[in-house]
Structure formats: C-alpha cells, structure tokens
Structure 1
C-alpha cells in the first residue's frame, strides 16, 4: 500500500518515516511539511494511506481531511496529534485510526494491523442480493413545521440528530441546496460566539455526523466540500417544500377536480417553514412560503363558499386568521361563512373581536365599506 506523510514538524516527520521504513509494510511515496503540499501531491498521484498531523498552521489536519475525502473516498487517513482532546474528534471524522505524539513503534504496529484488516475487508466481494418483492422505499425530507426524515417502509421510524448544531447545519445546507456556501459563512451563522479554530473543528465534526446519519437512512443526499465551500445535493428524495412549490397555484379554483388537487398540496403545509427551530436565516423564506399558502388556501375557501360548503370554508379561514389576524379579506370571508350558515351570533361576535383587535393593536377601525356591509347583514 502506498502512503504519504504530512506533518509541519520535521523531526516528527522523520521519526515516523524511519519507523515505517523499518516495518516495511507500506511504501512511502512522499512526505510534506504542509497540508497544501500534500494535497497538491494527491491531485497528481493517489495514495492508499495518509498520515496526517492535526495541529498545523495555514490548514489543520481536520480541514485537509475534508479535501482528501473529496478527492478519493477510498483514501484512508491516520490522524496524528499531540493533544488527546482532538483524538476522539479525529477518530469520529471517519479516520482509519489516530496516533498520539510521540508515536511509539508498538502503537504504530497496531495501526498498521488495522489498516491491513481494513484492506482485506474492502477487497471481499459480497454476492448480489436475491431479487425480492419488497415494497418500494420512498424517503422524504420534511421542512414544514419541523425538520424530519420519513421512510415509507417504516412509518414509525425516528431520526436522531447527534446535536442541535448538526441539525442546523443540515437545515442550512438544505435551505441552499445545490448552491456552494463558504465554510466561513456557515461558521458565522451557526457558531458566531466561538473562536475561529474551534468553530471550524466543530464544523468538520458536525459534517461527519450528518454524512453518517444520511448513510444510516440510505438517502441519496451528498454533502460535498470544495474550495473552502460546502453544498448539498440530492436525488430520489422527496422534499415537501419542493412539492408544495411545484403544485402551488395563486389563481381562483375553477372546478372540483382542481380543488381536490390543491387539497393534496395544501396538506403538505403542516406549519410554517422550519417553524419549530427558529433559525434567523430562514425567516425570509418562511414568510414567502406562508404568504403563498395563505393565498392558495383563500382561493380554496372562496370555492367552498361558492359551492355551498360554508362550514368547511369557515374551519379553513379560522386557521388562516391565526397566521394573519389583521387581514380584512380573511375577516370578510369568515363573516360570509357565518352568514351562509345562518349563525348571526357568531357573525356579530367575530366582527366585534376584529374591531377590538384593530383598535387595540393598530389604533384603526375597519374600513367604511366593510362596516356598512356588516350593519346591512345584521
């Protein structure tokens, strides 16, 4: 197996080289005192193993590990650190192993044995699984109300984020799906109070946990890294926001068939976009989607009233008013629903509450046209 060594400390680099040459199981094809030089070498020539120091200037080992994974997922990394606090983080970043400085021959031997076992496991060919009539697996990501994954073959399956920050980083990448986001932008949004070095370390560890979760769910979703940027891409995974936008219609309903089709789209809206998580960066998108939902639902309510279903319209309109309590259009349609039902007590009570809300909260009264219409109906 071919290996390269990357460590900014020359004595440590030479010490590791001597031990590996003495062992003889690996062929050393390069040794470098900076991560960037090592990465440049890997672009020209592949290596099976990279011994990579974590604590280096310019680019630390955890960040360099992201670049290496982006070049070739089959390249295995052995992280080296003088600080035991980084050992667990390094191992969690899908490392083949980690070594604490000063590296001893006994500990290095265990690492090489682990690498040999890993190579043998990777070379084992598994026979193809027999064809079966298993149900089609349909995976979805839900963003309305809260961020969730669903699996059509396991309706009760629950997802478990390692940390709330892992959930937020995934939500941010999904929010900008397909677009590259600078690493520094993610760090500033998710860890604004952390020192840069610690924040970047947290980001690399968090991305690893996200990838691990996606693999566990067998989702065709990739978190890619290139040129100091991350992006999320997906295939064969449903996203409720995308379905809602594809089915959105902001025009009046013209037929029963169209009303039924829109009902399926409106049911996707289980609550506001990422409502439960209160991400500041999602606020503009949340409001845009809410406005679209209200507009589309209003047209459905108008159709229900015109087709003799005032009770159905009233239930819908009262729910909408919780999101937009000052809307005079909503108020008119609610009053019309009460009138069509013959519930004039409900009609008067609702209008009185609406007037009180406007006067107390905004210091205004309903417009004269609405007030005249209400008095005429009563």
Structure 2
C-alpha cells in the first residue's frame, strides 16, 4: 500500500509464499524485491541467494524486525533494509535511494517476451504463444543468432564477414552484410527498440532491452552449485524446463558448437542431481521421465543408465529393468563397439538381486 501510494513504482507481484515469488521471478523481469526476513518456507537470506541466482541485477530490500540481520543481508548485496514496524519516512529514504541507484526503465507491454535458442530459434510472449520469425534469408537468421550468441558484445565487421561470408570477395560480402543487417532491423521493429542492432566503430551488436533470453537465464541459474532441497526443487524444475533441445540444434552453425556442448554438460549434470534427489524422496516417476528425456541427448551415459536401473528396482519393475539394461548393452556394442563398464554390470546385478 505504501509503494502504491508513493506512485513512482509499479508493483509486479506480491506473495505470502517465497516459492511462489521465486516462480514469478523465474519468468518475469523486475528491478527490486522487497523481502521479509522471517518466512515459513525459507528465511529471507536463503531466498535472497535464490534471487541472485535467477538474476544478479535484481536488488533486494529486506524488511525485518531484527537489526542483527543487517550485516548478513548486505553480504548478499542487499540494496537496503527497513526495520519493522515500517516508518513511512524511513521507507521514503529507501525509495529515494532506489531511484538514485537503479536506472528508471519504461514499463513496456512486451517485457514478458523471451528469445529461445534451446532447440529452434523462436520467440514466446510469456503467455504460451510461441512463433518463429519469417526471416527473409537464412543469413539474416544466422546474423541475428550470431549477434545474440555474443550477448551484446561488439562484433567487428571483419569478424562478421569472415564468419558468415568467408568465401566471398570483401566488397561483395560487405554488401551482403549491410543488406542483411537491414533485413534484421526491419524484422525486429515490432519490439519498438527493445530488440535492436547497433553500429559503432565498424562493429555491430544486438541489444535486448527487457527481452529475456533462455540461455542467459539457464546459465545464471546453473553458475552456482547449490544443494537441492524441497524448498528449491521447483526452482530447478523450472530451470531445466528451459532446456527443450540442444542450443540452436536445428541449425548447422559451426560457431555454436562449443557453447552447445557446454550447455548440454550443464543440463545433464543438473538432471542427474535433480533426478537423484527425486528418486531418494519418493518422486521416482518424475525422475524417470526426466532421465529418459536426458538419455535422448546422451544415449551412452552410464551415469544416467545407473539411475534408471535403480529407479526400476525401487519400483519393483524388473522386466523394464532388464529391458533397459539389454538395450543399453546393444547400443554400446552397435554404435561404439564396446561393452558396458564393470560398474554398470555390477549395478545391474545388484538391482536384479
């Protein structure tokens, strides 16, 4: 009520559940979170860690009855803290501080848009509607994807020419570049400047202002190794749900290979950790679905095979356990000409017994 009465800020959401608030932050862009310190699902400091994982640019103002929390709060980059009961004059100082510390951005209707690069390059509006743009040429799409790949870094014209038109004379390649940049700019006009191609000092860059990028979201959330708990399990599920396919898997872009491998490795690591937690806490069916999807991406992974065998054993489904093991053995022999490791064979025998 105080924030609304002040009139300078738009309230994007309000929650009595920390988990529900974190779900909101996983799908929507905000600047500041006012966060209680004493909450039933997790305390404010733990919630603050999750918020920083989601987006390190989000600033946190803690609301607490205990001044001793202040030092801990500032260790995770809190913008300010306000003691209860909240004094309007003290809150006014916080709001002035926010105004000085965070650049004001105009709230636009397209803030829920996300660029997706897991699987095919596409755009979704945050409300379940997804579409692919009608690129005038394949090079226009590749130029957009390449600039997006480099996350707002300036890319020299020479590098763009060598990467996208390596077999053309320079003058002809330069003409193609200018034409292609123009095509991309026309196509992203509907975002009214929130997606733009900038030019300076013989370099180009792609800028996303308020448009989210699934790969950046995924990387921020997987940069830190946090133990999986019941409190953050849903957070990890939402992050893994971003991975709908390999990075730009629908396109033969050599420059995307290194990042594609890195992201797949991150994904498989988190799938294994989350599936292990789910298996140990009674969510065997969910873990099995998750592992079977991951196995399509890493069919020769013995670690994934071990977990699938263990889940079938827990469920008492020994027929499926044997079928899975036999299919895995045949796959290794047919594709790689090798036998499963002694560890895998031992785990299979233990599960059968």
Whether the aligned pair in 2 keeps the contact of 1:314 and 1:337 (CA below 8 Å) is yes
SS at the partner of 2:168? coil
Tell me the distance in 1 between the aligned counterparts of 2:272 and 2:140.
Answer: 37
Identify if the C-alpha distance between structure 1 residues 367 and 278 changes in structure 2 by more than 3 Å, giving closer, same or farther.
same
Q: Within the alignment, does 1:280 sit opposite 2:250 as a pair?
A: no
SS at the partner of 1:277? coil
Q: Choose which of 230, 240, 246 in structure 2 pairs with 1:256.
A: 230
Higher RCO, 1 vs 2 (CA within 8 Å, ≥6 residues apart): 2
Bigger drift between 293-302 and 251-260 goes to: 251-260
Residues 38-83 of structure 1, C-alpha deviations (whole Å, 9 max, x = no match): xxxxxxxxxxxxxxxxxxxxxxxxxxxxxxxxxxxxxxxxxxxxxx
Residues 187-216 of structure 1, C-alpha deviations (whole Å, 9 max, x = no match): 222122322211110110111111122222
Bigger drift between 309-318 and 356-365 goes to: 356-365
Identify if the C-alpha distance between structure 1 residues 181 and 349 changes in structure 2 by more than 3 Å, giving closer, same or farther.
same
Cα displacement (A) at 1:310: 1.5
Q: Choose which of 211, 224, 236 in structure 2 pairs with 1:237.
A: 211
Tell me the distance in 2 between the aligned counterparts of 1:327 and 1:154.
Answer: 33
TM (norm. structure 2) is 0.64
* Corresponding residue number in structure 2 for 1:354: 328
Identify if the C-alpha distance between structure 1 residues 156 and 176 changes in structure 2 by more than 3 Å, giving closer, same or farther.
closer
Map of 1:337-376 to 2, 5 A cutoff? 337-376=311-350
Whether the aligned pair in 1 keeps the contact of 2:306 and 2:347 (CA below 8 Å) is no
* Corresponding residue number in structure 2 for 1:208: 182
Map of 1:184-199 to 2, 5 A cutoff? 184-199=158-173
Q: Within the alignment, does 1:310 sit opposite 2:310 as a pair?
A: no
Cα displacement (A) at 1:217: 2.6
Structure 2 unmatched ranges of 5 or more = 1-106
Cα displacement (A) at 1:248: 1.7
Whether the aligned pair in 1 keeps the contact of 2:118 and 2:245 (CA below 8 Å) is yes
Whether the aligned pair in 2 keeps the contact of 1:135 and 1:153 (CA below 8 Å) is no
Tell me the distance in 1 between the aligned counterparts of 2:250 and 2:111.
Answer: 27
Identify if the C-alpha distance between structure 1 residues 295 and 250 changes in structure 2 by more than 3 Å, giving closer, same or farther.
farther
Tell me the distance in 1 between the aligned counterparts of 2:165 and 2:207.
Answer: 23
Whether the aligned pair in 1 keeps the contact of 2:152 and 2:207 (CA below 8 Å) is yes
Radius of gyration: which is bigger? 1
* Corresponding residue number in structure 2 for 1:246: 220
Cα displacement (A) at 1:251: 4.2
Identify if the C-alpha distance between structure 1 residues 369 and 136 changes in structure 2 by more than 3 Å, giving closer, same or farther.
closer
SS at the partner of 1:283? helix
Give the superposed CA RMSD: 2.3
Identify if the C-alpha distance between structure 1 residues 157 and 171 changes in structure 2 by more than 3 Å, giving closer, same or farther.
closer
